[in-house]
């Protein structure tokens, strides 16, 4: 696929093309490919746990990752349109898929290096750092372009998505434990951890 090469070598062009041409098939294919790659990387990393466990982990990552990205795209669309951006769910999903792709390749390339004794992890760190930087910059550029906002609104929007997720996780834990005998010990443990 030509889009894969563009996402890794010139993501700005891939973003411009996607902005001018809506292609749901390409975005859907990339979403499946990147989570297959991340699942495969997990199979490689956890190969020492046995065949059943490593394949189960790979499948779990694949089947959890796709709905997670679909949900994050909904949050991104809600936040960016509320902040005044012009966009829709497709643009949010495209931004997330494009932003995640380089990281998925980096995870796959780096995964075997963690088996190399002594200095293998340094090569893994190198590839993950490069892939992470490319992914984050692609995500911010895609959100900025697709929702037609300035960079400050893009930063705030992505930060608000992460804050919303954190708040949701926190409130879920509080509400789950609120009516149980484990609530007070859990709160005191958190307080002790932060010296409150």
pLDDT in tens, the chain (196 residues): 688 888 889 999 989 988 888 888 999 999 999 999 999 998 888 877 777 778 888 899 999 999 999 999 999 999 999 998 888 999 999 999 999 999 999 999 999 888 888 888 899 899 999 999 999 999 999 999 999 999 999 999 999 999 999 999 888 877 877 666 666 676 677 667 776 5
- Going from N- to C-terminal start, the domains of the chain cover 2-150
pLDDT of residue 52: 79
Please give the pLDDT value at position 63: 94
The values of phi and psi at residue 149, to 5°, are -120, 170
Our CA angle for 70, 72, 73, nearest 5°, is 65
Of residues 39, 38, 35, the one with CA closest to residue 69: 35
pLDDT value at residue 196: 59
* pLDDT number for residue 155: 94
pLDDT of residue 117: 84
Predicted pLDDT at 94: 95
pTM given for the model: 0.84
Write the DSSP symbol of residue 21.
S
The per-residue pLDDT for 132 is 94
């Amino acid at each position: 696929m030509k889009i894969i090469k563009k996402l890794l070598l010139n993501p700005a062009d891939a973003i411009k093309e996607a902005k001018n041409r809506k292609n749901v098939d390409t975005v859907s294919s990339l979403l499946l490919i990147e989570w297959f790659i991340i699942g495969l990387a997990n199979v490689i990393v956890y190969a020492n746990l046995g065949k059943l466990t490593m394949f189960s982990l790979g499948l779990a990552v694949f089947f959890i990752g796709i709905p997670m990205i679909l949900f994050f795209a909904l949050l991104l669309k809600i936040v960016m349109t509320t902040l005044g951006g012009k966009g829709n769910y497709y643009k949010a999903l495209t931004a997330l898929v494009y932003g995640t792709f380089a990281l998925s390749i980096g995870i796959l390339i780096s995964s075997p290096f963690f088996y190399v004794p002594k200095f293998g992890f340094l090569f893994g760190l190198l590839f993950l750092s490069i892939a992470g930087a490319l992914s984050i910059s692609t995500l911010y550029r895609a959100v900025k372009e697709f929702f037609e906002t300035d960079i400050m609104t893009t930063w705030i929007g992505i930060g608000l998505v992460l804050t919303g997720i954190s708040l949701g996780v926190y409130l879920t834990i509080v509400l789950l434990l609120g009516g149980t005998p484990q609530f007070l010990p859990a709160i005191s443990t958190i307080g002790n951890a932060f010296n409150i």
